[in-house]
Amino acid sequence: MADVDKKNEFMQAYEHYADAIYRHCFFRVFSKERAEELMQETFMKTWQYLSNEEKEIKNIRPFLYRVATNLIIDESRKKKDISLDALIEESDAREPAYEGHKDAEKRALLKELYGNLEKLNADEKNLIVMRFVDDLDIAEIADILEITSNNVSVKLTRAVEKLKTL
């Protein structure tokens, strides 16, 4: 029965957080197909951890973001150079809904954002997405990345300053 409860709770977490994790992944990899795969892999790895009887996750939200962050780091280590056009073309394979926006507008915005984010290093990109896309606060980000809140504040401020000058 405990297994069934665990499974049900886990699937509820999926219902609750899948969209947010997908969004996080999308703004890191700028590919809809890859963002879906990363999101799915995040939940699968989380379940693999949870399905071990001895393991427990007290707060699943930061755990999910931590897994997603690590997967994206692995991804970026393997990724070859690829043009933005190729990324966006590949991402059109499965397009999420963009309410109220025509494709051309959305594509233009995406290109701009991608270009801006590319000026940051990987840590800074991650912080910007966590703070301004995922709406996580400093303490939550620190918990996810397992660094101090002070460290998060300093790096985030630096990243924001860089973006303001663009």
Partner 1 sequence: MTSFFEKLNILKNTLHLESARKKALGQELLNFIHHLDAVRAIETERHIQQRSGFLFNNPLLKPMPLLAIVTIFATLTGGVSFAAENALPGDILYPVKVNFNEEVRAALSFTPEAKAEWETRRAERRLEEATEISASGTINNKERVELEENFKEHADKVNARIDEFEEKGNLTVAADVANRFETSLKAHQEILARFESDDRAVQAEIKPLKKKVNDELDDISKTRIHIESRIATHDGKPETKTAAEGKLKAAINNIATTRNFIELRKENLGADATTEAEVKLKNAENLVLEGRAKIDAGTYGEAFNLANRAMRMAQEVRLIIEAEAKMNAKYGRKNLQIDLLKKKEVGNETDVKKESDDENKNTGNEETKNSLRVETEGNTEIQNGGAKSEGELRLHLGL
Q: Which chain residues interact with partner 1 by CB under 8 A? A: 7, 10-11, 14-15, 18-19, 22-23, 26-27, 33, 36, 39-41, 43-45, 47-48, 51, 89-90, 92-101, 103, 106, 109-110, 112-113, 116, 132-133, 163-164, 166
Task: Give the CA distances from residue 18 to residues 10, 22, 68, 84, 141, in Å, rounded to whole numbers and listed in that order.
Answer: 11, 6, 11, 25, 18
Taking the least distance from each CB to partner 1, the nearer of 98 and 147 is: 98
Q: How far is the CB of 103 from partner 1 (least distance, A)?
A: 6
Taking the least distance from each CB to partner 1, the nearer of 146 and 161 is: 161
Q: How far is the CB of 40 from partner 1 (least distance, A)?
A: 5
Taking the least distance from each CB to partner 1, the nearer of 43 and 63 is: 43
Cβ atoms 21, 64 nearer than 8 A: yes
Q: How far is the CB of 113 from partner 1 (least distance, A)?
A: 6
Task: Give the CA distances from residue 97 to residues 29, 62, 90, 118, 151, in Å, rounded to whole numbers and listed in that order.
Answer: 17, 26, 16, 24, 36
| Environment class of 30 (CB within 10 Å of its CB; exposed 0-12, middle 13-18, buried 19+) | buried
Q: Which one-letter amino acid corresponds to residue 70?
A: N
Taking the least distance from each CB to partner 1, the nearer of 79 and 101 is: 101
Nearest to 145 by CA among 161, 162, 126: 126
Q: How far is the CB of 53 from partner 1 (least distance, A)?
A: 11
